[in-house]
Amino acid sequence: MWQAEIRVDLDAIRENVSRLCAGTQAAVMAVVKADGYGHGMVPAARAALAGGASWLGVATLDEALALRRAGITAPTLAWLLAPGLDLHLGVSADIDLSVASVGQLREMTAAADAAQRPARVHLKIDTGLTRGGATAEDWPGLVEAAAKAQADGSVEIVGIWSHFVYADAPGHETIDRQLAAFHDALGVAERLGVRPPLRHIANSAATLTRPDAHFDLVRPGIAVYGLTPIPGEQFGLRRAMTARARVMLAKRVPAGTGVSYGHAYTTTRETTVAVVPVGYADGVPRHASNVGPVRVNGTTFTIAGRVCMDQVVLDVGDLPVSAGDVATLFGSGDDGGPTADDWAEAIGTINYEIVTRFGSARVPRAYDGGTGE
């Protein structure tokens, strides 16, 4: 018997990826970083590959190596690489690595020497996000150095890539501006003799709304899990994660009863309060105090009072709620219950944050559907 759990519908992930693949002529890289956005990196990766993805994307080298240890051999790109990592492990494991500076390139060539094979690299250009990536001023020097390293046999330049600022607002002026900057960077590379097989910039939002940004490869992340990158548009995607717990205790209390820490909620009538054993240690945002929606027995209630480390309280009025009843924080929404989007709206954040929060060891994941093995 479970007390609290995350259920992940792997068939939904597979179908979402299949839908994304059908919408483009480019190859699809399913992004499975951050433990598959809280869904479980390895099962999500297998389901995505079963849905037609031909690449996987992760942030860190450790994430990429974990995929290899799980027996997943699909082409994989890791892009968040601090100085001093054992990059030769990635090169030896046939993991593609992102390069944004001449300094990083030197580390790649050293890793290639240690692994006794060329490092597969994707050169990153900063087109306006001002995070990773070479600036326009530094770009020619990076490309020239990479071309020399490729001629020397130390690296294989597999791709040139970038990332959007605001693709989740279709029509925003930054999108066209970044695409123009990306084309300029590709032109510089071509003039320097670098014509890699893969050019990629499209995230979930651009994959769904900007076919002119697809190039050779698209990198959907949140859409893989059925969550929309553009509020109000679902694009036919199926939400894959459900977070739920069993009511631990239900009891009658009189009007004027303060509830939870600081008595930030007070009952206005005699009522039943239900205690649900999940809290911010399990991924429930503390900002959901007095606003987070939870569904029990077909009715959606709002968290009463502050979210605690291990529990929340619901004021369920006179409705029949008992210990053992299932309280769903968010799910597919097919039954009219709350979704991760509803939680994001309630606390003023994005659905990405809601699902990635739920990674606590106290709340196990259970999987429905095929694994793609």
Q: Give catalytic residues, as residue numbers.
A: 33, 261
Neighbours of 308 (CB within 10 A): 19
| Positive/negative CA dihedral, 299, 301, 307, 308 | negative
Task: Give the 3-state secondary structure of the chain.
Answer: CCCEEEEEEHHHHHHHHHHHHHCCCCEEEEECHHHHHCCCHHHHHHHHHHCCCCEEEECCHHHHHHHHHCCCCCCEEECCCCCCCCHHHHHHCCCEEEECCHHHHHHHHHHHHHHCCCEEEEEEECCCCCCCCECCCCHHHHHHHHHHHHHCCCEEEEEEECCCCCCCCCCCHHHHHHHHHHHHHHHHHHHCCCCCCEEEEECHHHHHHCHHHCCCEECCCHHHHCCCCCCCCCCCCCCCEEEEEECCEEEEECCCCEECHHHCEECCCCEEEEEECCCCCCCCCHHHCCCCEEEECCEEEEECCCCCCCCEEEEEECCCCCCCCEEEEECCCCCCCCCHHHHHHHHCCCHHHHHHHCCCCCCCEEEECCCCC
